[in-house]
Structure 1
């Protein structure tokens, strides 16, 4: 074998397991494997999980908070500040920042990522091309899906429609969109589907990012998804407006989302920061209703969105910290709720991204993370070190930490 992980905890309350890896695959799982291996990792009861999956991030806009801050903390200023900065971005600048952000998430155990790469007639494809370059450079360390993302809208930014098709021809993996920042929203959605069907690609939209639910298009998106037989191939990020709906109306829409098999990427770090800025008292959380979506069977994921820019002026690329933040925000700390959180950064986003052979069974890809905790139920709340990250059957990250307490 190439790697043998000895005595790892795969599940609480069950015997420790040896996990054998060869040629990039998990080839054996047993209480005792005696076959020789090139590399042996002594897990000593620590928790082994599939690689973390970052399902919504903007690498091309990372690490610019120090250049021009968003002083009001509002979504409107975040958009305007970023629009002002974008013309100053060079390909070298984008490359350096995106590379640094990418290595941050890799070091924290992410083995697959979906990143939105934007373009518009003003800035061209400089950022998009740079992210495509990084996808190739880092293919041995992380699987990257690149979303063709029209941040400034399509119809309100003439020339963008043509660029959407060009981005797909250049190799974009997913068709992106932002209905709430374009008019009319239904036509924006129609065009995204037209492009997606032409290239047989999945769809990932920035959807209904607002404190209020007065002008939402999620219901139209669901019906369009069903009509086009695109079940399970559409994802949405943010979706914060749902939290403002009356229960009866919310339940109707969530049921429709479940029927359309739409995945939701909840983005608590960003949405808590930007949301409800105009509330003078009893300030709302302004995060999509994670529990209600989960309970009806919607595939819910947790993701980072941005790292240190006008939308999210903090973050270090640790998806575990995002999940920990979601626990109190989404009331997910109960005994029955806590076990549902780890899948929101592993199995659920893997499903949303359509990852093949993902998991921790014989035959699955050897994309694994060994955590410095011995209780799987505590995998999030410990925010443990990622002792080893394994990608395609090779060790890509190793972290050793020694703590000495002096009395």
Structure 2
């Protein structure tokens, strides 16, 4: 054997298990694996979970906040500030910033990232080119999927469609979209159809930013039903994800539930991005300020496949973050009135098994014999308390190899009595 995790906790109130790995895959899970391994880790009852998945992350735009912050805190302001900064991007500075976040993510237990580099006439293919290089550089440490993302729109920014097509030719894995960043509803519909045309042409999944507003008063931010219908018509069920979807929170409950049923029936996934959505949302509200995060329990009740992610880190869209999926999960639980063992377990699943469905790796994912050995040993000893404990990622294991370790020694000073 290459590696054995001894005395690992996978389920509360169940016996501890050994997890044996060979050739990058899990080969045995049993109360006591009798074999020896080249490397053994004594988990001593600590929890082991599958590798965490960042299903929506903008590596190319990370860490820009110190260069120019978003003074008004709005989505429009963030797009404007970032557009100015993009014109000054170089391969070197994009690579430097992206590396910092990739390495933070690895240390925090992430074994898969779906990244959305901008593709537009301002920055061209620079972000995609850098991430293609980083995908190879970090191979074996973290898997990197690349989404060709038209932040500035497609029809509004002539030349973008050709750039998207070239990104896919060069090796981007997913076609993105920014449905609302067009001038009217008709061109938003054409934007969606263009994205699906490219998905069909290159045989790739779709991952679009959609309905990113406080409410659906502007019809450009009420495209969920149209996207669901297009997904069904194009035969893309299970291969479409939508990020943000914040306007759903501002819609009448009956209407919202009907939209979510349509998304579920069409096989369209939804990825809330709570750090960004709550920061940018409700900026015009002076009382009863909206949270602007799609209600997660409604997603669950409707049967919508859903994950969550960091989205942006320390830039005009989100001036916070450490690429830590457990921190984001706790934030999502707090925002969404989610609590108790069952709710928190389900939130964690949104960063693991459900995220694996969103990014298309579910068949080879999870702690089961035959699956890829992507795992994290946490400092927690109780599965139910993972989000609450904010545990250390003691060992991060990618394809059966330890790729990151966190060790910490703490003590309380002895109390001196008079």
TM-score, normalised via structure 2 length: 0.96
Question: 1:121 offset after TM fit, Å?
Answer: 1.6
1:308 corresponding residue in structure 2: 314
C-alpha spacing 1:394/1:336, structure 2 compared with 1 (3 Å): closer
C-alpha distance in structure 1 between counterparts of 2:167 and 2:25, whole Å:
33
C-alpha distance in structure 2 between counterparts of 1:392 and 1:379, whole Å:
23
Question: 1:120 offset after TM fit, Å?
Answer: 1.2
Q: Which runs of 5+ in 2 are unaligned?
A: none
1:249 corresponding residue in structure 2: 255
Question: 1:123 offset after TM fit, Å?
Answer: 2.0
Question: 1:220 offset after TM fit, Å?
Answer: 0.2
Q: Determine if the alignment matches structure 1 residue 52 to structure 2 residue 52.
A: yes
Mapping 1:162-181, distance limit 5 Å: 162-181=162-181
C-alpha distance in structure 1 between counterparts of 2:123 and 2:403, whole Å:
35
Q: In structure 1, which of residues 377, 390, 394 is the aligned counterpart of residue 397 of structure 2?
A: 390
Q: Determine if the alignment matches structure 1 residue 209 to structure 2 residue 246.
A: no
C-alpha distance in structure 1 between counterparts of 2:232 and 2:74, whole Å:
34
1:193 corresponding residue in structure 2: 196
1:373 corresponding residue in structure 2: 380
C-alpha distance in structure 2 between counterparts of 1:236 and 1:276, whole Å:
20
C-alpha distance in structure 2 between counterparts of 1:295 and 1:383, whole Å:
27
Q: In structure 2, which of residues 408, 414, 418 is the aligned counterpart of residue 401 of structure 1?
A: 408
C-alpha distance in structure 1 between counterparts of 2:387 and 2:175, whole Å:
31
Residue 284 of structure 2 aligns to a residue in which SS? coil
Question: 1:398 offset after TM fit, Å?
Answer: 1.1
Mapping 1:341-356, distance limit 5 Å: 341-355=347-361, 356=363
1:127 corresponding residue in structure 2: 127
1:230 corresponding residue in structure 2: 236
Question: 1:69 offset after TM fit, Å?
Answer: 1.0
1:364 corresponding residue in structure 2: 371
Paired residues in the alignment total 407
Question: 1:318 offset after TM fit, Å?
Answer: 0.7
Structure 1 window deviating more from structure 2 (336-345 vs 320-329): it is 336-345
Q: CA RMSD, aligned part only?
A: 0.9
1:71 corresponding residue in structure 2: 71
C-alpha distance in structure 1 between counterparts of 2:214 and 2:411, whole Å:
47
Residue 256 of structure 2 aligns to a residue in which SS? helix
Residue 167 of structure 1 aligns to a residue in which SS? helix
1:21 corresponding residue in structure 2: 21
Question: 1:73 offset after TM fit, Å?
Answer: 1.2
Residue 321 of structure 2 aligns to a residue in which SS? coil
Question: 1:165 offset after TM fit, Å?
Answer: 0.9
Mapping 1:273-288, distance limit 5 Å: 273-288=279-294
1:324 corresponding residue in structure 2: 330
C-alpha distance in structure 1 between counterparts of 2:372 and 2:52, whole Å:
13
1:3 corresponding residue in structure 2: 3
C-alpha distance in structure 2 between counterparts of 1:257 and 1:22, whole Å:
40
1:159 corresponding residue in structure 2: 159
1:144 corresponding residue in structure 2: 144
C-alpha distance in structure 2 between counterparts of 1:45 and 1:295, whole Å:
34
Q: Is this contact kept in 1: 2:83–2:122, CA < 8 A?
A: no
TM-score, normalised via structure 1 length: 0.99
Residue 402 of structure 1 aligns to a residue in which SS? coil
C-alpha distance in structure 2 between counterparts of 1:268 and 1:218, whole Å:
19
Question: 1:76 offset after TM fit, Å?
Answer: 1.3
C-alpha distance in structure 2 between counterparts of 1:194 and 1:119, whole Å:
17
C-alpha distance in structure 1 between counterparts of 2:389 and 2:142, whole Å:
24
C-alpha distance in structure 2 between counterparts of 1:140 and 1:173, whole Å:
18
Q: Determine if the alignment matches structure 1 residue 267 to structure 2 residue 273.
A: yes
Question: 1:335 offset after TM fit, Å?
Answer: 4.0
